[in-house]
A and B are shown apart, each in its own frame.
Chain A
Amino acid sequence: MFTAEMLESIKKVEATRAERIGYEPRRMTAEEKDTLLRQYHPDFREDGFSIIQIGPNKGEKAPVELCTLLHSNSRIKDENIDLSKIDYDVDVLVIGGGGAGSSAAIEANENGANVMIVTKLRIGDANTMMAEGGIQAADKENDSPQQHYLDAFGGGHFAARPELLRRLVMEAPDAIAWLNNLGVMFDKNEDGTMITTHGGGTSRKRMHACKDYSGAEIMRVLRDEVINREIPVIDFTAAVELILDKNGQAAGAVLQNMETGEYLVARAKTVIIATGGAGRLHYQNFPTSNHYGATADGLIMGYRAGAPLLYQDTIQYHPTGVAYPIQIFGALVTEKVRSLGAMLVNIDGEAFMHPLETRDVCAASIIRECSDRGKGIPTPTGGMGVWLDTPMIEMIHGEGTIERRIPAMLRMYLNYNIDMRKQPILIYPTLHYQNGGLEINGEGFTKAIDNLLVAGEAVGGIHGRNRLMGNSLLDIIVFGRNAGKAAAKKSKTVSLSELSLEHINSYAKKLEAAGIETDTVSPMLLPKYTR
């Protein structure tokens, strides 16, 4: 499967392997990291960004592709939507059937609200399902919420909103306990101690996992619970715009059946946006680890209704995406592979960095190796990559470790006749996570629009400008649950006036006033991959 050039390089990797075992490359100093990021991280590439022309974040930068969507027409601009014909009438409308949406729906149901989930694909066809590595929580003796806070705050470049981060770390152990009580099977020792490992940037081993199916295990349990509770789930139906009422409060959403194109009106006293990330926008032409529907829809709908974004200009590129074989190009190689001891190695078999630096630093370092330093390994499709020396794992932890701890990874590569137990794998950064999103307060409400909440990856500010591994699965549970509870509670006091889509017209006018002419419509809903 590997090319001749790759095999040649693998020999060098093998030759240096023995001496690399037990050798710990120096961690970079703060200054070194800073310089590296400025030079090589995609967030610092000027041509990757443009300036937002209208709305609450006017004048700030955003990725070109996101900007284009913000500067687009509403899908329903020229449609005649009859808001008096209400198809669904609920207390709490949850938009998105991933981990954040499902945990919100469960808690809203638990708190006595009439709640409904509307989701673009099937419930669970979501980034949550794909998370492999794990979920953080400071629940061990040598660890504490304030230590977790410090790691996340520093890892996020000291930009996280303190109030949000406090909730994240303080409610983390309870989130794990909640999941465990629902039946999520965490990796444990025989005495019940959770098996925890490091993730990039953690100072304590606080990554809890369910093998390398952590997200899948969490998601399938949450989905099962949603179904057991008989919470209505409207699959293959996207929200395409929020509906406000005459007083400007959130009041529901216009939905569209993905297959028939039919529009439907959902009225709700509170609305939770839980639409996840933006990987499928392929910023700067990067491949992505994200699911098919990750097109930033919630950000677009929220923004058009007037809710501000926060940190929309920072994106996470996961350092280890598949560079080869092409069939799984961009797929994620979980960070756990590095936490288990696999080193990043260049074409000459040299370890060029500490494997557990934060993701942004790690990605930038790989890009440097593959560009200016000329130490990358070329792939047949014109790309580049570096080795992740996986056979080290079994040398360090014993034979069988890979099959036991990262079975999904092993299976993915074996499909293409690559045995990662015996040969290293070729990786390159992949577009992975939207650090920024809609701004919320501690309870999960947006600051601009009453009764509109946001949870999960669609939120900005929890992690600052970079997120640590394992803090996202955590945030979708912590903030998903909070949003569900808060939305249920709030819905009891809300009374709605007449429904309105006036904000869409006023957004269109602003576009016109800014001189923006466009044929594009948004939200995007699905990427275009047909030839």
Chain B
Amino acid sequence: MQEMVNVFLYGKKYTVPADLTIMTAMEYAGYKLVRGCGCRHGFCGACATIYRIKGNNELKTCLACQTQVVDGMYVASLPFFPTDKRSYDIEEIRPEQKIMMELYPEIYSCIGCNACTKGCSQSLNVMQYIAYAQRGEFEKCAEESFDCVNCGICTSRCPAGISHPMVGLLARRLTGKYIAPKSEHLKKRVEEINKGAFDDLIAKIMEKPIEEMKELYNKRDIEE
């Protein structure tokens, strides 16, 4: 016999197999998901969910596709939580502290409650990455926020009204574009291609008969 547990979806009781995730339990119970479901594998942040276990006052947050059901779980999903993204032209802005002040001034109202970190579905140190952003330490902010899936759980809990994933994203784009070292080999290769350095070589290989291609392919040397 399959082990079953009782869960409460939006307050209503369902008995479901114990090995399901919250997402598959909802489907088992008959919910055809439209919102709150995307990648199903923990990458897109569409399935932000809050729950409480009966008899425990702690309000927990998670990704529904990555969390197994537990007996006595009360579940509500957060399929859309409004975050506030500011628009900018990546070509115009520079990785200077003042850009954070201009675009996301509310980060300076952080009261250090750490609710964002406690809620994070990816166990990131969210308060810390906001602190880095405040100080204009974009690279550190980028590193610390790198695994963010943009689920918005942190934002839903922040008393200062901060849209954390948007702050992290800005820091990462600034880091990727301006702060990280430039790749000379890449620049060089693009120039070579644009100058036509490979035109003949590629034309030649395209013309080869299949038999010759097979020969070349099967005998090609493989970098160690």
Contacts and interface: CB of A to CB of B under 8 A. Distances in A.
Interface of A: 30, 121-122, 124-126, 129-130, 137-142, 144-147, 149-151, 153-154, 158, 162, 166, 169-170, 173-174, 176-177, 180-186, 188-194, 198, 203-205, 211, 213, 215-217, 220-221, 224-225, 227-228, 230, 236, 258-259, 289, 291-293, 325-328, 331-332, 407-408, 411-412, 415-416, 526, 528-531
B42 A149 contact: no
A411 B214 contact: no
Given A141-B185, A416-B68, A205 B223 contact: yes
Contacts of A147: 220
Nearest to A206: B223
A137 B189 CA distance: 10
Nearest to A120: B34
Interface size class of B (residues with CB under 8 A): 35 or more
9 contacts: A130-B39, A150-B216, A176-B186, A180-B177, A180-B186, A193-B184, A211-B146, A224-B85, A259-B34
A203 B222 contact: yes
Given A121-B46, A183-B90, A407-B147, A203 B221 contact: yes
**Shortest Cβ-Cβ A-B pairs, 8 listed:** A183-B173, A125-B38, A154-B217, A192-B181, A185-B176, A183-B176, A183-B177, A139-B189
A220 B38 CA distance: 14
Given A144-B201, A173-B193, 4 more contacts: A151-B217, A185-B172, A194-B186, A292-B37
B32 A170 contact: no
A412 B41 contact: yes
A227 B90 CA distance: 12
Interface in B175-199: 175-177, 180-187, 189-190, 193-194, 198
Contact of B189 (A138, A228, A332, A529): A138
B173 to A, nearest CB: 3
Contacts, number: 225
A150 B205 contact: yes
A204 B30 CA distance: 49
A204 B189 CA distance: 15
B176 A184 contact: yes
A327 B173 contact: no
Contacts of B1: none
Given A146-B205, A180-B177, A185-B180, A173 B189 contact: yes
Contacts of A153: 213, 217
A137 B172 CA distance: 22
A146 B181 contact: no
Interface stretch (B16-24, B49-57, B153-161): B16-24
Contacts of B66: 328, 412, 415
Nearest to A153: B213
Contacts of A215: 43
B40 A177 contact: no
Given A144-B201, A228-B87, A411-B122, A174 B38 contact: no
B177 A188 contact: no
Contacts of B33: 292, 526, 529
B27 interface: yes
Among B39, B183, B217, which residue has the most Cβ atoms of chain A within 10 A? B39
B115 interface: no
Contact of B202 (A145, A181, A188): A145
Given A125-B44, A153-B217, A213 B180 contact: no
B40 to A, nearest CB: 6
A530 B202 contact: no
A475 to B, nearest CB: 17
Contacts of B220: 147, 150-151, 154, 203
B185 A140 contact: yes
Contact of B206 (A124, A166, A203): A166
